[in-house]
Structure 1
Amino acid sequence: MMDEDPYAQAIDIFIEATATTDPERRATLLSRAVTADVVFWGPLGRGVGREVVGDFITEVVHGHPSGPGRLVRTTRVDAPGEWARFGWRYETATGESILSGMDVVHVTAKGDIDEIIVFAGSLT
Structure 2
Amino acid sequence: MKVEPWQVPILVMAGIILAELATRVVPRRWTAHLAKQQVRTVALGGLAVLVIVVGVLALGPDLADQIASVAASVAGLVALWLTYRSYQLQTTATTDAAPPGGPARDAAGPAAPAGTGQPPGR
TM-score by length of 2: 0.23
TM-score by length of 1: 0.23
- Bigger strand share: 1
- Bigger helix share: 2
Larger Rg: 2
